[in-house]
Every structure is written in C-alpha cells, then in structure tokens.
C-alpha cells in the first residue's frame, strides 16, 4: 500500500441539516499538494444499514418510495440509520419491520459498501435477513411504502424496473454469490 498523503489542513466549508462538506489540503508523498473536498456524515454516528431480506430461497424483498434526490419513485432495498442502543442487526430488523412489514429470525452481517470513496466518507452495512415473519412497526415515512420483490437470478432486469441504486444492486449480487458459494441457492 502506498504512503498516504499528509493532511496539512482540514476545515468545514459548508453545512446543512443533513450534509457537511470538509475541505482538506493534502501533500502527497511525491510532494504534490492538492485541495480536496469530501462529504462527511452529519448523522448520529451509529452507522447505516441496508437489508437483503429473503422471502424464499431465491426471492428478495424490495421497497418503492419517493426519492428526494432523483425526485421520483424508485425501487430499492430497505435501509436506514442505526439508532442509539441498537447493534447493526437490531437496526436492520427494525428498518425491515418499519418499511416492509416483515421481521427476520435470522440476521447476518455480510460487509460494508462505500458510496463514493473519492468524495464521501459514508459507508453502509449489508445485512442478509432470512426466516421472515409478519411484523409491522410504525416508521416515519410520509406515506405508505409499496413492497415488491425480485428473483436473485433476474437482477439485471432491475435497471429496467426503475431500480438504479448501485450499492443496493451490489448487495443483491453479493448475496446471490454468497448463497451460491455455500450451496444454499441453486440456479
């Protein structure tokens, strides 16, 4: 691994309710100096979690809700912020109950995915949820969320269904690979 650049200076240059921008003055090991900006999480620091919940061996639960960023309804995975006092699996199960009306008896942390490592500090834990049961918790959504699903062998069709979130698509593919490697999923 190369030697990391020295951070000569770092300061907050813009801030809103949800977003904080940090400007950094860097000196690379070859002497080159550059000014970088990155987005740092304004969240409460307990982390974010995304859930691949399996309704049966091959079918994962999706949700459709209004996305303020793209100003459109989009399909994606249940996700949210971990609350104080929760571990990441508790948070995954709560978000699942709030957004889909399912709880899971079996929860497994698969790893973390980053958003845009060049410009953003954010990462999200990916949790595989299985052995589901019906259980709804009230969430803070402005309107009911529509629940949908996808077959793990039909993931490439998702772009045509208005599912465009890169990290959520990666999570579904990772689950498919993992379950295949374990012999728990047959094409």
**Cα–Cα distance, 124 to 119 (Å, whole number):** 15
Under rule CB under 8 A, residue 11 binds a second copy: no
Rule CB under 8 A: choose which of 81, 109, 147, 174 binds a second copy. 174
Rule CB under 8 A: choose which of 44, 56, 57, 159 binds a second copy. 159
- Contacts with a second copy: how many residues (CB under 8 A)? 69
Q: To which H or E segment does residue 179 belong? A: helix 166-181
Minimum distance, C-beta of residue 59 to a second copy, in the bound complex (Å): 17
Please choose, out of 85-93, 94-102, 129-137, 141-149, the segment that lies near a second copy by the rule CB under 8 A: 141-149
- Two tokens at 50? 């995304």
Minimum distance, C-beta of residue 165 to a second copy, in the bound complex (Å): 5
- Nearer to a second copy (CB atom), residue 26 or residue 147: 26
Under rule CB under 8 A, residue 116 binds a second copy: yes
Under rule CB under 8 A, residue 187 binds a second copy: no
**Cα–Cα distance, 61 to 178 (Å, whole number):** 17
Under rule CB under 8 A, residue 183 binds a second copy: no
Residues whose CB falls within 8 Å of the CB of residue 143, separated by 6 or more in sequence, listed in order = 66
Q: How does DSSP classify residue 9?
A: E
β-bridge partners, 20 = 15, 40
Minimum distance, C-beta of residue 133 to a second copy, in the bound complex (Å): 27
Under rule CB under 8 A, residue 111 binds a second copy: yes
**Cα–Cα distance, 73 to 75 (Å, whole number):** 7
**Cα–Cα distance, 124 to 46 (Å, whole number):** 11
Cβ contact 185:137 at 8 Å: no
- Two tokens at 7? 């951070």
Name residues contacting a second copy, limited to 63-92 (CB under 8 A).
65-74, 76
The radius of gyration computed from the CA coordinates of the chain, to the nearest angstrom, equals: 19
The site for a second copy (CB under 8 A) is made up of 1-2, 4-5, 7, 13-19, 21, 23-24, 26, 28-30, 32, 34, 36-39, 65-74, 76, 111-124, 142-143, 146, 155-156, 159, 164-171, 173-174, 177-178, 181
């Amino acid at each position: 691994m190369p030697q990391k650049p020295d951070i000569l200076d770092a300061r907050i240059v813009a801030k809103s309710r949800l977003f904080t921008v940090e400007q950094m003055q860097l000196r690379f090991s070859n002497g080159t100096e550059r000014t970088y900006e990155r987005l740092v999480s304004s969240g409460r620091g307990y982390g974010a979690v995304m859930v691949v919940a399996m309704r049966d061996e091959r079918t994962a639960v999706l949700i459709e809700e209004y996305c303020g960023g793209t100003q459109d309804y989009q399909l994606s995975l249940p996700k949210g912020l971990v609350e104080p006092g929760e571990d990441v699996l508790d948070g995954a199960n709560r978000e699942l109950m709030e957004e889909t009306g399912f709880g899971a008896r079996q929860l497994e942390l698969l790893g973390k995915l980053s958003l845009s490592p060049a410009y953003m500090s954010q990462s999200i834990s990916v949790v595989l949820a299985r052995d589901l049961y019906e259980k709804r918790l009230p969430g803070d959504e402005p309107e009911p969320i529509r629940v949908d699903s996808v077959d793990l062998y039909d993931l490439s069709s998702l772009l045509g269904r208005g599912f465009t979130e890169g990290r959520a698509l990666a999570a579904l593919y990772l689950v498919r690979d993992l379950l295949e490697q374990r012999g728990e999923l047959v094409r």
